[in-house]
Structures are given as structure tokens and as C-alpha cells.
Amino acid sequence: MQAFLDTFDIYLLEAVVNGILLGGVLALLALGLNLIFGVIDVTWICYAELVMIGMYGMYYMVQVFGLPYWAAAPIAILQVAALGAALHYIVIAPLLTAPPINQLLATGGVLFILQSFATVAFGIDFRNLGIRLPVLAIGDMHFSYSRLLAFVAALLGMLAIYFFMKRTYTGTAIRAVAQDRQIMSLMGVDTKRIYLITSALGGALAGLAACLLVLQYDVHPFVGLSFGPITFLICVLGGLGNFVGGFIAAFVFAQIISLGGLYSDLEWGYVLAFAFFIVMMFIRPAGLLARRS
Amino acid sequence: MLELRSLDAGYGSFQALFGINLEVRAGEAVGVIGPNGAGKTTLMRVISGLIRPTEGSITMEGRDVVATPAHRIVDLGIAHVPENRRLFPRLTVDDNLKMGAYMPGARAKYAERLEFVFDLFPRMKERRSQMAGTLSGGEQQMCAIGRALMSDPKLLLLDEPSAGLAPVVVQQVFELVKRIRSGGLTVLIVEQNVQQVLKVVDRAYLLEAGTIRASGTSEEMMKNDTIKQAYLGV
């Protein structure tokens, strides 16, 4: 094993593996946003702020109320799912037939409301769970368990969504609504109910991401800015609403950030990722897996 | 079974149907014929709840259709095969059929209904894992009818089943309608292909400019001078 590893630049290998691990969580976030866009045709600009609220939920349950992590996580997921459904019911549903720009501005407004709410309610301190998971060492390479756990849990979450969408009547109806919403009532499907379920699912994915990210990052009212823009770019690069494209784009972006961070600072990794995005928008404006019409 | 009484309907300020009276009795096949833009599709859409009438009543086996929410009308036993088929192109044939059996009552009978549809359209069984958008026009029509039959309806609404199909396939589609009928299903069919549809139905209505201009048995309609001149070309 050691001899095998010696033949590689182990820092490169470590960066590649860490990139893959990062890609898992980004793919989870992208799936949530894509689900909402693909089915309801609305972009939740405030998606990462739902994650932020979920992270605060975890912080309060674990640090303030002393719940064990494993008990708090499902509650946080349900809490953000409810928030997603509420967001749809209160903000999106009345604007369903409004021009897309109005919907975008409305969810942008929710972004600022959630940030301000968090600032007032939780303060601007950086907080964390106080849980430090050990680091896995393979040879000279180091991987944190929190990242490994996040990667595995994110994949399981996406797998659960996949089977839900493929196997259940409700999941099939969600995919059908994305293709032809006008005739859904002929199938006996209440489109409003499907939208609400989809929004709750999108929220649940943000909640799961919150549970995983809170192990790696401190939470503060503006933590959403660390994930929001990148998630949005991933979805656009993969083709908005395209689940497979979003999945691939998440790993492409994660690799660029991780490798860029290896050769320079982490910040430069983000710069490279955004530059790559702009170039790709010229080459494939409709996304990596654009559907040919 | 189905009764429409002095029904008005339209889109916004545009009125498409004026005082329609129409009846379909259990076990019958009834046709609605007429030119493009006569309001035939609007008639179908108003029965299945896709649009709501501005005046008049619709009852299905004595139950008020207008007061029923659109997504509950399937439960009254009405299945609508819409104009242009409207399959879900990026869902498989199986998933399209599954959507037809979405209502709880239909879900319970899913396996039985699927067998029924596959018996009727063996081609659908061969193509079951194929995306509906990749089917040929005739196959898409079979899939659309199959999807409607999955809900185990009492009344099947067919909107222009022959539209956009090759003449040979049109023939096959009308053969299918005959077979569906012989299974005891009640059918209301809207068609521009007057010659073909009059061979399949028991009675027909002539719809022009949103009003019923004539009605009668198929034989009577075939002998009607206006219909002969305008639609049968004899």
C-alpha cells in the first residue's frame, strides 16, 4: 500500500479524494434546488439560507438542549422540510402565475429576511456543535471523518430520493408534473399537493445538508453565502432542472475547488471554479447535459 | 349516464360553447362531429374539468360534475384522452400507465388493469420500458388510451384519436375503439374524420360554431343532407 502511494504525489491524491467528498454534499444541495426548479419552475435563491436555519437548529438542539447528534438530525431535517413547505405555501403559491422575475425577487427577499432574522435571533457569533470527529490517516494522507460521513450520508440521501421518485406514485407524479402540469388533474393528481410535497422534499434535502455541514463548518447568519452561489452555479452548469447534470457538475466544481486549493489558496480554488463556469457558459449555455430539442 | 344541460363555456371573454344539451346513455358510443374550431375540444375539456362552464350543468350518474374539484372527476368514472395525446414524453410507458392509475381506487386494481391494457395493446407490453416520447404516433395513441383505461372508467372521452396519424393507423385506432366498446365501456368521441366515426358510434351530434346543429343515430346522420355535403363529400 505504502509503495503504491509513494508512486503518486500524495497531496494530489488527497486533494482529489477530498474533492470527491466535497462533491457529495454539493450534489445533495444541487439536487434539492434542481428538484424545486424542475418541478415548480421556481428558483429558490434563498436555498442556502434554509441550510443555515437547519444548522442553527442543530446547534440549539445539540449545544443548548443537549440532544445527541443522532436524535437532533432527524428533527432538523423535518424542521427544514416544514420550512420549505411553508416557503412554498406563503411566498411561491400566490406567485405561481407571476413573471419569473417577481418570483426570483420574492425568494431573494426571503434570503434577506432569513439572514436578518438569524442575526437578530442568534447574533453574529460563529457557533459550532463542539463535536470534533477524528481524522482518518492512510499513509501520509488525512481525511476527516466528518467529510467521509457527509459524503456517505449525502449519497444515501440522494439514493433515497431516487427510489422515491422511481417507485412511488407520488414520486412518479412529481416527475410527470415537471413535464406537463396542465393535464395532471386528468390523472386525478392535485398539483397543489404535489408542489407542497416537492417543496418539503427540497427543504428536507437542505435539512440533511445542514446536519452534515454543521459538523465541518461554524454556523453564522451569513454562512449561506458560502454554499448558495456555488450551488446555484452547479445547477446552471448541469442544466437547471436536470438532476443528472447537476450531479456531475457538483463533482466537477468540487474537483476544481479542491485542486485549485492544492496549488494555491482555497480562495483561488473558488475563483477558478467561477472562471470555469463563465467559460462553460460560452461553450454550453444550456448546461453540460443540455437536452437537444 | 352523462348529461349536459344548457351549457355555456369559454376562455376569458371568448365564449366557445352556447347552450349545449347532450346526453350519453350507459353502454352507448356517441360521437361529436364538426369542423375545426367548432368547440369540440372545449366540450371535452369542460366535461373533464380542465375548464369550468360559465352556465349550465353537467351530471355523471346523477352526481354534479361542476361542483367536483377537477382532480376528483376521474373518481366519478370519467377518463379523458386529451387532444394530441399529451403523454409524459420523458416517462416510460409503464410510468405513463401508472399515472393513469393514480387515484387510490385505481391503485388497488393496478395489476389487474395493467393486464387488461396489455391484453388490449400487446405492443405496449413490448415497449413498456421505453420513453413514451420515442413511440410512433399510433403507439402513442394506444399508450394514451391505455393510460385512461388504467383508472377503470365508466365513460371514456376520446378527443380526435385519429389526428395526425397515417390512414392505415387511423383504421387501426377505430378498430380499437370498437373493441373497447364491445367490452361494455361507454364512449364519447370527438372527431373530424366523420366518415370513420359514424361507423363506430350509435348516435352523433353535429357541433358548429359552439352550438348543436343536428343530432341523431348514425344512420340518420349519414342521410342528413347538410352532413353529406359538408362532411362526407357525397
First to last CA, chain A: 49
CA distance A234 to chain B (A): 23
Q: Where are the domains of chain B?
A: 1-74+186-234
State the average pLDDT over residues A206-235: 93
| B90 shares contact with chain A (CB less than 8 Å) | yes
Per residue in A40-53, pLDDT tens?
A: 999 999 999 999 99
Task: From residue B230, give the alpha-carbon distance in Å to each of A216, A258, B208, B226.
Answer: 76, 73, 11, 6
Q: Where are the domains of chain A?
A: 2-283
Per residue in B15-39, pLDDT tens?
A: 999 999 999 999 999 999 988 888 9
- Which residue pairs, CB below 8 angstroms and at least 24 apart, start in A248-251? A248/A288, A248/A289, A249/A30, A249/A287, A249/A288, A250/A23, A250/A24, A250/A26, A250/A27, A250/A29, A250/A30, A251/A19, A251/A20, A251/A23, A251/A26, A251/A27
CA distance A168 to A173: 9
pTM equals 0.89
Ranking B35-39, B140-144, B155-159 by mean pLDDT, the lowest is B35-39
CATH 3.40.50.300 is held by the domain B1-74+186-234: yes
CA distance B113 to chain A (A): 15
Of residues B80, B91, B106, nearest to A176 (C-beta): B91
CATH classification for the domain delimited by A2-283, as one of 3.10.450, 1.10.3470, 3.40.50, 2.60.40: 1.10.3470
Q: What residues of chain A lie within 8 A of the CB of B74, using their CB?
A: 186-188
Per residue in A106-165, pLDDT tens?
A: 999 999 999 999 999 999 999 988 888 888 888 778 888 989 999 999 999 999 999 999
